[in-house]
Amino acid sequence: MTREQQRMLWGHLFILPWLTGFMLFTLYPILATLYLSFTDFRVLNEPRWVGLENYASLLADRDYFWRSVGNTLFIMIEVPLSVVVGIGLAMLLNLRLRGQALYRTLFYLPSVVPAVATAFLWMWVLNPQNGLAAPLNSGLVRLGLEPINWFTDPSTAKWGFILMDLWAIGGTMVIYLAALQGVPSHLYDAALIDGARGWHLIRHVTLPHIAPVIQYMVIIGVIGTFQYFTQTFVATRGGPENSTMFYALYLFQNAFEFFRFGHACAMAWLLFLVTLLATYLIWRVSLRKVFQESVGV
């Protein structure tokens, strides 16, 4: 055996534990869910092959499946909002002001609070009777307006989750802040000499140089929104009137409450395919624009 073959053998031996773990705990479960998505599997019984029946029944389910899809698409509103708010906060926190480190810490802290604790906190904040929203509702009543019931009103429940997520935007803000600090200062100086001010500086200097970061954060935001689960599971369990029944929550209910694992696996693969397609489209559509912006074309 040559020296090169010995090195190759040792290399394969070193990656063998990882490869074994990947095949047993990642690849096999993925392939198993693909198979189970074509079966009627109720945990206590053997899987029964039903072909595309699970997919057909899901696509025909307007009351729950398509309702969960619509709710998930609605919550996508927070993706552009997080871009605008995140960049705006990052630009403010990029200014040279006394105590700036304290401000950055205060804005970042909510992002490290666990999602479960955040959900309980905002259930209290938006409680129309006893929370911080109670004075606002009292003022609205005095003005002759209807109070906002947030998580107990189907028309406002999803907006409560959007507020909750924007409150914890600190992690996104830090990434934009790092991107802003990578923009060369001499470009701002040159633009100021040319007479650029305000929005023109942002449009022609700032945004072009952080465009790849914006593209990345939009993709991550879309993927995260498709998987929106913890907050609604803790706060509303899909209510009221299924107004917060998001896709991931309905998938969870199919698997661990209704024990329809075949349906749940089919939903998981539909989610995977839609997420893959959405990611590719965002990347493909924005690729040329991001490239042109980043090189200043």
The whole-number pLDDT of residue 195 equals 83
How far is the C-alpha of 297 from the C-alpha of 290, rounded, in Å? 10
Q: Is 229 in the same domain as 274?
A: yes
Count up the domains in the chain and report the number.
2
Q: Which residues of the chain have pLDDT under 50?
A: 297
- C-alpha to C-alpha distance for 50 and 47, rounded to whole angstroms: 9
Contacts with 107 (C-beta within 8 Å, 6 or more apart), sequence order: 89, 93, 170, 173
**Do residue 280 and residue 191 come from a single domain?**
yes
286-296: b (≥16 Cβ within 10 Å) or e? beeebeebeee
Within a domain: 239 = yes
Are 163 and 150 spatial neighbours (Cβ–Cβ below 8 Å)?
no
State which residues form the domain around 182. 62-115+168-295
pLDDT at position 140, please?
84
The reported pTM is 0.89
Is 226 in the same domain as 272?
yes
Instruction: State the DSSP H helix or E strand holding residue 40, giving kind and residue range, or none if neither.
Output: strand 39-40
Q: What is the pLDDT of residues 18-61, one digit of tens each?
A: 999 999 999 999 999 999 999 999 888 899 999 999 999 999 99
The C-alpha atoms of residue 23 and residue 30 are separated, in whole angstroms, by 10
Dihedrals phi, psi of 182, to nearest 5 degrees: -90, -5
CATH number (domain holding residue 219): 1.10.3720.10
Residues 175, 66, single domain; the answer is: yes
- What's the pLDDT score for residue 297? 44
**Based on the domain organization, do 92 and 235 belong to the same domain?**
yes
Q: Are residues 69 and 106 in the same domain?
A: yes
Shared-domain flag, residues 22 and 73? no
Same-domain pairing of 210 and 255 = yes
17, 109: one domain = no
Angle, helices 157-167 vs 65-75, to 10°: value is 40
Residue type at 196 in one-letter notation: A
Please tell me the predicted confidence (pLDDT) of residue 143. Answer: 84
User: Does one domain contain both 173 and 29?
Assistant: no
Q: Is the same domain home to 176 and 81? A: yes
Q: What Cα–Cα distance (Å) separates residue 16 from each residue in 9, 13, 146?
A: 10, 5, 64
Question: Is 261 in contact with 42 (CB distance < 8 Å)?
Answer: yes
Query: By three-state DSSP, how is residue 48 classified?
Result: strand
Instruction: Give pLDDT, residue 107.
Output: 94
At 49, give phi and psi (nearest 5°).
-65, 125
Is 230 within a domain?
A: yes
- Number of alpha carbons in the 13 Å side-chain half-sphere of residue 115: 10
Q: Flag whether 94 is in a domain.
A: yes
